Amino acid sequence: MVRPADATGATILEETHVKYLFLLNRTEDALPDPGTPEAAAMLAAYTEVTAAMSAAGVLVDCAPLHPQSATTTVRVRDGQTLITDGPAAEIKEQLGGYTIVECEDLDEALRWAARFPAARDASVEIRPIVAAPGPA
């Protein structure tokens, strides 16, 4: 990253990393039944990739989400708060979890995202996180 020139007019180079949000999508039929060898294998695959991310120092946070049936959607229209049980839209793929990483660039983030089982079973959406200042 190049920062604006300092008081002497010299530009300042500094090494920065970008945070990326991985949206780990899944389909209901891609989930094995709990307690089965397939479920254990899937959990092991996720554990392996998150452990590798942690060891590499890129993992910021990650967690699975409860099923889509546990979703509540809030909308405000004309000053009225509308609450709906269920997701905002019915789609084939569902958000199953998230991961936040801090990588040198998008190429590194893509390599990590490709290691998740969700990339094989459904998809992993990768979004850069806007670097915003924290509260004062």
Place of tokens 């946070």: 61
Domain interval for residue 110: 13-128
Residues 46-71 have a mean pLDDT of 93
Whether residue 105 has pLDDT greater than 90: yes
Q: Read off the pLDDT band of 9 (50, 70, 90).
A: low
For residue 88, tell me if it sits in a domain.
yes
Specify the CATH number for the domain of residue 28: 3.30.70.1060
Secondary structure of residue 39 in the 3-state scheme = helix
What percent of the chain clears pLDDT 90, i.e. is strictly above it? 53
For residue 3, tell me if it sits in a domain.
no
For residue 8, tell me if it sits in a domain.
no
What pLDDT sits at residue 68? 80
Number of CB atoms found within 10 A of residue 124's CB: 22
Reported pTM: 0.78
For residue 133, tell me if it sits in a domain.
no
For residue 7, tell me if it sits in a domain.
no
What pLDDT sits at residue 54? 97
For residue 56, tell me if it sits in a domain.
yes
Residues 22-37 have a mean pLDDT of 85
- Domains: count for the chain: 1
For residue 6, tell me if it sits in a domain.
no
Whether residue 8 has pLDDT greater than 60: no
Nearest Cα residue to 121 out of 55, 30, 35, 32: 30
